[in-house]
Structures are given as structure tokens and as C-alpha cells.
Amino acid sequence: MVDLPLVLGGLLVGFVVGLTGMGGGALMTPMLIFVFRVDPLVAVSSDVVASLFMKPAGAFVHLRRRTVNLPLVGWLCLGSVPAAFSGALLIKVIPFGDQLDTVLRYVLGVALLLASFGLVVRAVLQMVRTRSALGEGPVAPSAPSLVVRPLPTVLLGAVAGLMVGVTSVGAGSIIIVILLLMYPALKASQVVGTDLVQAVPLVAAASLGHLLYGDFSLGLTVSLLIGAIPGAWFGAHVSSRAPGGIIRRALAILLLASALKLLGAPLWLVLAAAGGALVGGNLVWIWVKRRFGAPALPAPSPSTTPSPPDEPARIDESSRRT
């Protein structure tokens, strides 16, 4: 039976994934654990399988917009696909017994902290690189010209794939941040598009592993997908045309709060950290806006200013009166 709250949660997560290329597992898994009280292993397995159908919706939009670097996708998948399948198998063979849920919570917490840090690093890099407080803006579809570095790219895919297989968290955040560092010529929308496309075979391998060795819930996944697929499609349309910097800052705060909660921090500390990040982030945003904000547009010259068009109307009106 379809669960409407799960559908709405999937819609929100799908939109964020399509918009930013990250945040699927980082948002969906904590949402399932804390909001819907789902067992951590079930949450990880169901999230991974849901991503298998959610990611292509956003990837297809970016392929049509030509904001994907296909050679990078190939090298990333060479490392990520086998690692993702191995990560799902690793959960089953880890000798933690009854402590598996606790271990997964801590692993997820660390992964979310890394994801939150990665979002902050990415936002700063984009603001400095584009000299804009928004960090990025709409770009014209084009194929980026860059030299691919095979070995580091394969290793990056392997690390991200292993994290997805074990926790369902981290692929988008890690891949996007490191791609920006390794390939600064890539535009932001092209990084998002490349990550979404490479995530399809990655998640397919992880899903197969979780279907065989995990604790997948069909009803839970179907409810999530009803909302997540249209959400990812719409978010990808927005991200391929519009800025996404503000969304990523809000996502970083949410990831920080979720990570602290998973790691067992008391509620007051979670709220204090989220509030501090919100206030501190806004102060930094104001400073960056003043420092890197776009210059004001020059005023039009008098020679190019069109004359007011109401003069003939005045003449006609006066002639009517006479």
C-alpha cells in the first residue's frame, strides 16, 4: 500500500538530487531512520534500490542538455561499479552481529559529516571561482574540453562506490567535490550531470548487492519512488538552467544536523550546531557577496536613451480639443 508521507519525502529528496546531484542517501537514509523509524539496514538497502530508478530521471535531462562528460563517466564507473557491489556484500559479512545497527549509524554519521564538509568546500570554491555570492549560475550546454586523468578518476569512483554500497551515502558529495578539485575547467552543471549519469551503473551494482545480501523493503521503496522520480526530473531541469548555491548551503546544514544525531549528540547540541552554521554561514555569505558580488550595470548613455513615445499622443489630444 502506498504511504503518502513517504511519497512526499521521496518527492523532496528527488528534487534535491536532481537539483544538486547529491543528497540522495544523505537525506533519504536519515529521513527513513529518524522520521519514519525504519531499521538502519532496511533504510540503506531500500534507499539504494530507490536510487536505481530515481537517478536516471535526472541523468536523462542532463544528457539531453549536453551537460555530461562521458569519458569521465566511463573512468568513474570502472572503479565505482565493482566497489559498490562489494560494499553491499561487506555489510553482510562484517562480524558485528547484533551491533550492526549501531555500527551503521556511526558509519552513516561520519559519511554525512564528510558530505556536509564537501558541500561547504564546493560552495566556497564556486564562489571564489565565479566571483559570485551565488557560487554558480546558468550555463550554456557545451562539451567541456579537458584532459582526463584515468588513475585518480578510477580511484575516486572506487571510494565513492564502496561508500554507497555500505552506507548509501557519499557518492554524489565525494565525487562532485573531488571532480571540482581535479577538473576545475568543468562547469558546475556539467559536474552535476556527469555525477548523475555515472551514478546510474554505480547504484545498479549496489542495488544488485543489496537485493541479494541486504534487507530490501518493496513497499517502502515503491512509496519513495512515486515521489522521487518526478522530483528528480523537475530538479534536474532546474539545475541544468539555474543557480543551486543556496540550496546546497541549506543542505549542508541539514547534513550536519543529521550527522550529529546519528553520532549520538544530544538534541541541544544538534540545534546549537545547526543554528551556529546558519548564522555563521549567512555572515560569510554577506561578506562574500560584498567581496565577490557582481558589479552594478553601467547606466545607459544619453545618446542611446530612446525618446519618450508620448509626445505624438499629446499633439493628437490637443488637436481633438481644438
Q: Burial level of 185, CB count in 10 A (0-12/13-18/19+)? A: exposed
Q: What is the pLDDT of residue 223?
A: 92
Q: What is the 3-state secondary structure (H, E, C) of 66-111?
A: CCCCHHHHHHHHHHHHHHHHHHHHHHHHCCCHHHHHHHHHHHHHHH
Give whole-number Cα distances, 64 to 3, 43, 60, 107, 179, in Å.
32, 32, 6, 36, 21
Buried b (16+ CB within 10 A) or exposed e, 76-99: bbbbbbbbbbbbbbebeeeeeeee
Q: What is the pLDDT of residue 218?
A: 87
The C-alpha angle with vertex 262 and arms to 94 and 97, in degrees rounded to 5, equals 25
The alpha carbon of residue 87 and the mean position of all alpha carbons in its chain are separated, in whole angstroms, by 21
Q: Which three cell numbers stand for residue 294?
A: 557582481
Q: What is the pLDDT of residue 141?
A: 45
In angstroms, the CA 105 to CA 55 distance is 24
Task: Domain ranges for the chain, please list them.
Answer: 4-321
In angstroms, the CA 25 to CA 175 distance is 14
In angstroms, the CA 180 to CA 195 distance is 11
pLDDT in 10s for each residue of the chain, 322 residues: 788 999 999 998 888 777 766 656 667 888 888 889 888 878 888 888 888 888 888 888 888 888 888 999 999 999 989 998 888 778 777 665 556 667 767 876 787 787 777 767 766 766 666 665 555 544 444 444 678 889 999 998 898 888 777 776 655 666 776 787 788 777 767 777 888 888 889 888 888 887 887 677 888 999 999 999 998 888 888 766 655 566 567 667 777 887 787 788 888 888 898 888 888 877 877 776 676 554 444 445 454 445 455 444 444 444 455 4
Q: Burial level of 223, CB count in 10 A (0-12/13-18/19+)? A: buried
Dihedral angle of Cα 284, 290, 294, 300, to the nearest 10 degrees: 150
